[in-house]
Amino acid sequence: MPGGFYWSFLFYIWVFLNYRKVKYMTEIILERYELCCERIDEISRQQEVSEKYKEYFKKTADFVKLIIDTFEKVQKGVFCQSENMPDINELRKLNSALFEDIKGKNYEISYANPAYACEKLGTGMGQLLSFLYSELRSMIGYAFEKKLEDVVIRMELFVEIYNSFEYAADEGAEPKNEDIQEIMYWFVSDYSETASLWRVGTLVDPANDFAVKIITQSDLNNINYLYQYGEYISENTEKMAKYLNSLSQERIQMIADTYTEGYRIGFVKGNKDLSKKATVDIRYVAGFERIVKAAIANFEKMGLKPVIYRACDSIFHRNINKIGFYGAQANKQYDYDHKDDIALFYDKKLVNRRLEVLRAAYEEYKEKAALYAGPAVIEVFGETPFAPVAKSEACKLNEEQQKLSAEYRGTSASIVNEYIHGDERSFTIIAFPVPEIGEKFDEIFDETVKLNTLDYTTYETIQAVIIDTLDKADYVQVKGMNGNRTDLRIQLMKLNNPDKETIFENCVADVNIPVGEVFTSPVLEGTEGTLHVSRVFLNELEYHNLSIQFKNGMIEDYTCDNFDDAQKCKEYIKANVLFNHETLPMGEFAIGTNTTAYMMAKKYNIGSCLPILIAEKTGPHFAMGDTCYSRCEDIKVYNENGKEIVARDNSVSLRRKTDVSKAYFSCHTDITIPYNELGSIIAYGKNGEEYKIIENGRFVLAGTEELNMPFEE
């Protein structure tokens, strides 16, 4: 047999066998699906469990039936734009039905609410069954993406747990909490591999194009396209899409150009080769599709294909900070209540399992991971500020689990960095208001676009003056006023060659849009004092009178006034600012120079709405966690004047040279002191020279006076 024919014959045999295998597996999943549908229908009609649990299983089975009905509609193409697509009112009705149980007052009597579940079912079992209900809610996204197996395994979990209650009822008893917990534990453990493989695939493989098709193939002028996502679509989501539809294509293109050009410049300034990359990770909120569509075309000209994935709320990928694409949040308290559900199962064995499957997933996709260029993020602001209620019934990580969580966060980041090298990728972030910000939304949107396109050369020149002064200093003293108790000494790196080196980066509009800051990695030893802000939003959570004490650059103590119980305040900060680490270094000290952004916030009274991206430019800010050069410290970077920025490390990040596991924390949270609470920023030279940068909230250093103009206007 000729060699070519022989290998062709073997190839077709391989294709045939794999086709048969895939077909067989699909048939098995369909069979499992049909069996689950029958069983869940039975459970909905009659619950053979003790009286205490009948309502729970009735309501939960009815919800799963709603998902089944939705999945069938998706299969039939009901949500796709066509002549047969329901009108907008029917689409709204279908969408609302999927989320109404967690909206508004409905949440108070929903088993998705751990407080209600515990009241009705008891604390231990209430937490477990509330988690189950929450996990079943993640099927909404899977149903719209036609991920049948992901739907089926959750249906099977529900049926298995129901059966445990039914068997126990036959014996005149109730199942033990630990038995139900064990079922859930093995569900999380067994399917970690599949979940991790899917998640990594959506991150690096452009073949996962569910959202890309919606953006590029839909008629975006007809906002019914929004209902193809399977995300909650609010009135504000529709308003956002309609507003962008009212703008000219030229204006949309200008906005997209600002966004994508910032991404490109980030590679140039970071001395990184974009030509080696093939995919860009686009993250956005539903309603911004016109901008994203234009951005996709821009990125394609750079040789980049989009990877866009859902900000999933399953136990496998849950993150209170939405990462990916997402719609409106039906209930932020619901998300907050379930952010630590993993505490029900978290142990060393599960951590090791999750790390093992994460590495295996990246190994599977290592070639595509090497081509990943990094995220391009569109953030939004203007939503109703959210101050969470700390519920005793919500799951919480115990002390040992907090340590495991911090360990997982660090080790998983190191694994990712092995396949997606931090020194080869970049990012960009831009932010826009949403209609929820108020009746002057149109004005605020226009002002934000202007803000995002400010002349960077003006800022670059003025910031160079600030940097030249700071390069002479040994340390900087920052003090608050008007009730702000900040009193911080920030130690600066000593320059060996001031003619060719600098301590601060001159940051204009590239990776962080808009313009306006100079920043450094402070020397930890000698950095001490108190950082205080009266009110601040960090990662969408509100803090009142947040106060953090530093000793040798490390967090020594912290408090806030969010709750009457001081211990709850500490737990809140530790979980959401320290990310369960015992301490964190001050990874960044920066002086924001964008007084235009500050005055825009004052003019429209939206200071509390600004995202960190903009807020950090409106005063000095300090980052808790890693430096801005995390995992890229060995790449030389330069300011426009040709000076190398040498303050890229601190004594913690330098540990990477001996034990990388002790060098990074995989978090970086900026806390800003607004100008109206800023008493002074004074730099002190090695011989006691005094250089005043800001006094009483105004720039006083010669050459920076222009920054005060927005205050006067």
Per-residue model confidence as pLDDT tens digits over 409-460: 999 999 999 999 988 999 999 999 999 999 999 999 999 999 999 988 899 9
pLDDT in tens, 454-477: 988 899 999 999 999 999 999 999
Q: Give 476: exposed, middle or buried? Use CB within 10 Å, 0-12, 13-18, 19+.
A: buried
pLDDT band at 22 (very low <50, low <70, confident <90, very high): very low
Reduced to 3 states, what is the DSSP secondary structure of residue 292? helix
* Per-residue confidence (pLDDT) for residue 143, from 0 to 100: 97
Using a 10 angstrom Cβ sphere, with 0-12 exposed, 13-18 middle and 19 or more buried, the burial of residue 144 is: buried
- Token pair 């006691």 in the structure block, residue: 688
Nearest to 264 by CA among 300, 227, 226: 300
pLDDT at 97 over 90: yes
* CA-CA-CA-CA torsion sign (670, 676, 677, 683): positive
Tokens standing for residue 686: 């090695």
Cα–Cα distances in angstroms (integers) from residue 149 to residues 73, 156, 675, 692, in the given order: 17, 10, 53, 63
* Mean pLDDT, rounded, for 657-670: 92
On average, the pLDDT of the chain sits at 93
Three-state SS for 652?
Answer: coil
CA 290/CA 251 separation, integer angstroms: 11
At 263-309, the pLDDT tens digits run: 999 999 888 999 999 999 999 999 999 999 999 999 999 999 999 99
Average pLDDT estimate for 585-601: 96
Beta bridge partners of 325: 284, 310
pLDDT category, 539, cuts 50, 70, 90?
Answer: confident
For the whole prediction, is pTM greater than 0.85?
yes
Q: Which residues contact 560 (CB under 8 A, 6 or more apart)?
A: 543, 544, 545, 546, 547, 569, 572, 573
DSSP string, 557-607: EEE-SSSSSHHHHHHHHHHHTSTT-S--BEEEEEEE--HHHHHHHHHHT-G
In this structure, the strands spanning 690-695 and 678-685 are antiparallel
Yes or no: say if 526 and 606 are a contact pair by the CB < 8 Å rule: no
Query: What is the structure's pLDDT at 385?
Result: 80
Annotate 68-113 with three-state secondary structure: HHHHHHHHCCCCCCCCCCCCHHHHHHHHHHHHHHHCHHHHHHCCCC
Indicate the SS3 state at residue 670: strand
> In the 8-state DSSP scheme, what is residue 635?
S
| CA–CA gap between residue 592 and residue 619 (Å, rounded) | 5
| Strands, E assignment, 203-342 | 279-285, 305-307, 325-326
